Amino acid sequence: MSFFKSIILSFSTFSAIPMPRIEWNSKNMRYMMCTFPLVGALIALFCAAFVIFAQYLTGIHKNLSPTLLALIFTLIPVFISGGIHLDGFMDTCDALASHASREKKLEILKDSHSGAFAILGCVLYFLSYFVLSLEVFRRPLHLISLLPLFSIFMISRILSAFAVSTFPIAKDSGLVHTFASATIKNFTALWCSFWLILISMLLIYFFNFLGIALVATSLSIFCLYFLVAVRNFGGITGDTAGWFVQICEISALAVFVVMVCVK
């Protein structure tokens, strides 16, 4: 029952999907990080459904604009997640661009106002994601060939949950500190490791070098996440976690486009 309540809390926190109201306590939150990747699975499911629908529309309207399809594909993760990770991405861009002391950077993360570098980072992110998505939709759509790309929505959240259970926490307050305090850290780390290994093996087995490239990219960004968070903030926060998820996903999209779409 606690696992089911943790699922509800994960979706109510990390998605825009309406969920029943559940009390926030250590018992209900103990498996919350374990269920966090399910939000990524839902995003992947919506993306797959959209591709199937796009295939159907393309069959009816031969001149259907790939620009429109790419735009919708770009917005799906934001609509499902409610933009929570994008908010952290923007705050982290502001803090990193300040080149200030660690204490000042942590203050910037808490500031509710968006600075110039947050806006610039957001614009560049969406522009890059849209252009990369456009390359995907310029080709004939095949759902199976896109499955490796969709898996990244889960992998990014598996790694993020693993970080909460293993990485140092920058502050003694905030969401990440609350999650880390409530979660069963050893179990969460093992759970995330199991699913990461399983998904990675499936990607490599079925998609060969593409699978290897996507897994290697995700792990490389994960290592970068650790270095950036510890060096600049003394550990991870909710904002840096959002920054990691966004960077991991767009990096995987770029690798996918280079290996599959660019010829």
- Whether residue 108 lies inside any domain: the answer is yes
Residues 6+ apart with CB under 8 A from 221: 244, 247, 248, 251
CA distances from 208 to 71, 126, 205, 250 (A): 29, 29, 6, 21
- Whether residue 244 lies inside any domain: the answer is yes
Residue-wise pLDDT for 148-183, tens only, equals 999 999 999 999 999 998 998 887 777 777 777 778
pLDDT at position 27 over 90 = no
Q: For the chain, what is the mean pLDDT?
A: 88
DSSP state, 183? S
Of 38, 88, 83, 46, nearest in space to 192 by CA: 38
- The pair phi, psi for residue 105, each rounded to 5°, is -65, -40
Q: Which residue has the higher pLDDT, 221 or 138?
A: 221
pTM metric for this prediction: 0.94
- Whether residue 3 lies inside any domain: the answer is no
In the chain, the percentage of residues whose pLDDT exceeds 70 is 96
- Whether residue 12 lies inside any domain: the answer is no
Q: What is the band of 139 on the pLDDT scale with cuts at 50, 70, 90?
A: confident
DSSP state, 36? T
pLDDT at position 60 over 70 = no
Whole domain around residue 159: which residue ranges?
37-261
Q: What is the band of 263 on the pLDDT scale with cuts at 50, 70, 90?
A: low
As a whole number of angstroms, the distance between CA 61 and CA 2 comes to 48
- Whether residue 165 lies inside any domain: the answer is yes
Of 146, 151, 163, 145, nearest in space to 221 by CA: 163
Rg of the chain over all Cα atoms, to the nearest angstrom: 18
Indicate the number of domains in the chain: 1
Residue 32: left (phi > 0), alpha (psi -120 to 50), or beta?
A: alpha
